[in-house]
Amino acid sequence: MEQITVRSRARVPAITCGSSASSSRLDRHLSVLGGPAVPQREAHEATLLMRELTSRDAAHARSSRGARVSRVSLFAPLRRLRRSLFGGR
């Protein structure tokens, strides 16, 4: 049976590990993890969109002290976990 190659996937170099069966199995797993290649234009557009969404305007950066309280803390789940593991100490 002829092997079918997909052109949109990035090529992963062959791995020599133990028997040829385990090497080919590793190659298959890595090729699936690689995923299809994203076109350059789409990657550029996605990057621009992420920068636009995550950028802060100058007025927002100079926020007052009261606005700081409303900001979401990313460490809140970690604090909750620490409290549940170690108590209120």
Going by C-beta distance under 8 Å and a sequence separation of 6 or more, which residues neighbour residue 10? Answer: 34, 37
| Residue 87: inside a domain | no
Task: Quickly state the pLDDT bin for 36 (edges 50, 70, 90).
Answer: confident
For the chain, the domain total comes to 1
| Residue 43: inside a domain | yes
| Residue 25: inside a domain | yes
d(CA 31, CA 15): 12
Residue 50's domain spans which residues? Answer: 9-55
Residue 30 pLDDT > 80: no
The token pair at 65 is 């002290």
Identify the pLDDT of residue 43: 81
| Residue 76: inside a domain | no
In the chain, pLDDT over 70 holds for what percent of residues? Answer: 47
d(CA 41, CA 63): 36
